[in-house]
Amino acid sequence: LIVVSFMGQSNINNETYKPENRKLSKFFQKGHRTGEVADLNHQLKPKSSNFSITTKQKLDSLIYKGNGEDTNTFKDEFTYNSTGKATSNIGYYAFTGTYGWIPSYKFEYLYDSDNMQVGEVDYDFDELTNQWFQTWKNAYENDENGNRTMDISFNWDEDLEQWEFMNKREYAYNSNFNLELSSYYTWNFEVGQWYYASKVEYTYDGNGVLMLMLSSHWDNDASQWLSDYKNEFTYDDSGKLLKDLKYKLNPQSGEWEFNHKQDYEYNTNDKLVSVSYFNWGETANDWVGSYKEEYVYDADGNVAEFYEHDWNENSGQWEYDYKSSLVFDNSYAYEDLLLPFEFDAEMQEEGVNLFNHMVTEAVSSQYNGSSWDIDETTNLYYSSIELGIGENRLIASTVYPNPANDYVSFRLDEGPRKMQVEIFDMFGKTVLSQEILNGGQVPVQQLNPALYIYRLMDGDRVFSTGKLSVR
C-alpha cells in the first residue's frame, strides 16, 4: 500500500505542502519499487474483460492521520471503470482544526480498447485559481501479448503550453514473455533527439527464473556501453529467493567488487519472515548491516506486524526503529478485492502478500529506545462493485485435479480441438504457456505451491478463465 502524506500547494505553508515533498507512509512505501527491478512488473497481465461476472470489494479511499508532531489528515480517493481498472487517484489534505478537504494532486489512468493501460496524466491543484493544472504524463505502448514495450515521460512546459519529452524506456522480451532488456534514454533538447543513457539485461535459467541482472551506461566519448553493476540471485530447491548479491565494476582494475546484498529468510510455511540489507564496507573488508525488514503473520497468513530495524555499528546488532500493525477483515480474501495497481502487483514482495485478506487499518509506531510511540494511522474504506465479462462469451470448462500436484487437465464443453493454456501467478506474471488438445494435460510440478489464474484461448479469442491451486 502506498499511503502518501498528500502535501499539495497551500497558502498556509507553501514550503511544506508541495507535491514534490509527498512522503510515503513508512510501512507501505517499501513496496513501491523503482528502477530495474520494477521493470519486471511490465509483463503480461490477464485482461479483465475476459473474466466472468463477479462482485468485488473495491478500495474507494484511505484516510491517513499523523499522531505525532504532524496531526494533519490526508486522503486518497480512487475511481474505476466497468472492468475494474483504476481510472483516477485524487489526493486531499485537511489541516488540524479546520474543516473540508483541500485537493492536492490527481493521477488519471488511460486505457485502450483491450483495457491495457496506454497512459497516465498527473495534475496538481492551484488553490488560487481553484483549478487542476497538468504537470507530467506517461505514454505507454504494449505488444500483442499485453507486455509493455515503451514508456515515454513528458513534462508540461507552462511557458510554451506544450508537452516536452523527458525520458524513455524500451522493453524487450524473450519467447517466454520474460523481460530480457530494459533500455533507458534521455531527451536532448538542443538537438531534439533521444540519447542512450543506461540499460539492464536480464538472464534466466531454463525454467524462466531470473539469475542475473547486468546494468550498463552509455559512454558518449567512447561511443560504447560500459558495465556498472550486476546482480546475482540465489534460490533454494523450491524456488524461493535466498540472496540478491550486487557487484560494482571497478573501472581501474576491471574486476567486480562487492557492493550490496539482500538476504531472505522464510518460516516453515515458506512465508518470507525477513529481508536483511547489507553494504560492503571497504574499511572493514566485510558486510556491514544497513536495514532489515521483518514480517510477523497471524493464523490466517496475514502480515499482522511489520518491523524495520537499523544496524547499530557499536553493538553489532539490529535495533528496532519502526513497526506497523495491520487489521484485517477476513471475510474477504485477496480474490474478492479490487485494488489500484499501486496497491496490488507493485506491493507484493517476494513471498509476501499484504492482501491475503482485506486490510482495513494500519497503525505505525516509532521506537523511542524503550517503547513504541504511535505516529500515524491509516484507515481503508471499500464498497461493492459488479464486474462484467466484456464482449467475449466464456465457455464452461473442467479443470482436474484442482488442487493439482503433478499434472492438470483442461477440457472445454465446446470449442476448438486445440487451445493455448496460459497460467499466471497472482501478480499477473506468466508462469506457463503451452498448446494442448482439448482435454490434454499440462505439467505443473515445477510451479510453487500457490493459487494461480488460468486462461484457455485460441489466438485472441478467450474461451475460459478460472483459478487453479497447486499443492
pLDDT digits over 207-232, tens only? Answer: 788 999 999 999 999 999 999 999 99
The DSSP letter of residue 123 is E
CB 367 within 8 A of CB 321: yes
pLDDT in tens, 35-75: 455 565 554 444 433 434 578 899 999 998 888 666 788 99
Residue 4: per-residue pLDDT? 31
Residue 426: per-residue pLDDT? 66
Report, as ranges of residue numbers, the positions in the chain whose pLDDT lies below 50.
1-27, 29-35, 43-52, 345-347, 349, 389-392
Question: Is the entire prediction scored with pTM above 0.95?
Answer: no
Residue 37: per-residue pLDDT? 55
CA nearest to 352, candidates 308, 303, 309, 291 = 303
Query: What's the rounded Cα separation, in Å, for the pair 465 and 158?
Result: 47
- The alpha carbon of residue 130 and the mean position of all alpha carbons in its chain are separated, in whole angstroms, by 33
Neighbours of 280 (CB within 10 A): 17
pLDDT in tens, 241-287: 899 999 999 999 999 999 999 999 999 888 889 999 999 998 889 99
Query: What's the rounded Cα separation, in Å, for the pair 389 and 397?
Result: 16
Residue 302: per-residue pLDDT? 87
Residue 72: per-residue pLDDT? 81
Name the residue with cell 464452461. Answer: 396
CB 166 within 8 A of CB 153: yes
CA nearest to 320, candidates 328, 329, 332, 312 = 312
Query: What's the rounded Cα separation, in Å, for the pair 302 and 293?
Result: 16
Distances (CA, A) of 219 to 114, 171, 198: 39, 21, 9
Query: What's the rounded Cα separation, in Å, for the pair 86 and 102?
Result: 22
